[in-house]
Amino acid sequence: MSFLRGKRVNRDQVAVVTGAAGGLGWAMVQQLAARAQDSGTPLRLVLVDMNGEALQLRAAELTQSVVTVDVQVADLSAEASVAQLCQVLAARYPQVDLLINNAGITHRSLSTQTSNAVIRRVMAVDYHAPVELAQGLLAPMRAAGGCVVNISSMAGWMPVLGRAGYCAAKSALHQYFETFREEVREDGISVLMVYPSFVATNIDANALSGDGGRAQHAQSTVGQVRTADWMAARILNAVATGKERLFPWDKTLLGAYLYKLAPRLFLRQMVKNFRVELEEGRKLARQSSAV
């Protein structure tokens, strides 16, 4: 039996993971390799990231006898790079069982202080790349009856100060793949949408500022910050049991309901929780006017 989705197959399983060199992506890669070893299932792991050196180091850590590693360096913010990646993978793997769109980028800056280039980059990585990968690998996923896993965010369900572009990208991802799922269901392709709240990964540590540099102020959070390993286990369990959506059972889920039922109350609370974003924006405005 396949350890991925409980289906009987007589071939190697193929799993493609973007953003595989660190954080949640690497945690999922490690657990995929461990589960393959435990079940004795041959697994071809395709690790995708823009950091080639880090990918090679990670690949060397995967010593399970049933696992074969394929390293693919790609800049998912560039359409041509994504298209080339799809071409290579579709030619190399006639069947793809699992596509995990994990790579992501965010910003921490007020919308009025965020450049168009930053918004476009966030949209490219968080929305366009997952869409283009799913479309580019459609044939091998049909052949395998594969599953697309999208790491979205609760920020796609409700507004969050200082992350307008990120919220927009994750909202677009949600709407696209909720529709996509129904359009490919009869082809045997499934979609799992994952909506984490706050996970301890590098995405916020590497958050962009409004001008495209590195955000300097501390991240604001609500509720418990989960580890990447904890989140990875929940995601792979959801894949194995055929779930279509995975939500956090914490304050952020309550916030999403509050936003739908009492939006003005939610917005007041959101501004209170993320007031540091307004304060940082005002500080930046004062510095700019003083120059």
Residue numbers annotated as active site = 166
Q: Among 77, 83, 90, which residue's Cα sits nearest to residue 16? A: 90
Query: Looking at residue 225, what DSSP letter applies?
Result: P
Calpha distance 263→97 (Å, rounded) = 40
How many Cα atoms occupy the beta-carbon half-sphere of 125 within 13 Å? 25
Q: From CA 34, how far away is CA 85, in angstroms rounded?
A: 26
**3-state DSSP call for residue 86?**
helix
Amino acid sitting at position 124: A
Interatomic CA distance for residues 237 and 240, integer angstroms: 5
Nearest to 281 by CA among 163, 158, 137: 163
Minimal CA–CA distance to 31: which of 282, 224, 239, 208?
239
Q: How many CA atoms lie within 13 A of 287 on its CB side?
A: 7
Cβ(155)–Cβ(167) below 8 Å: yes
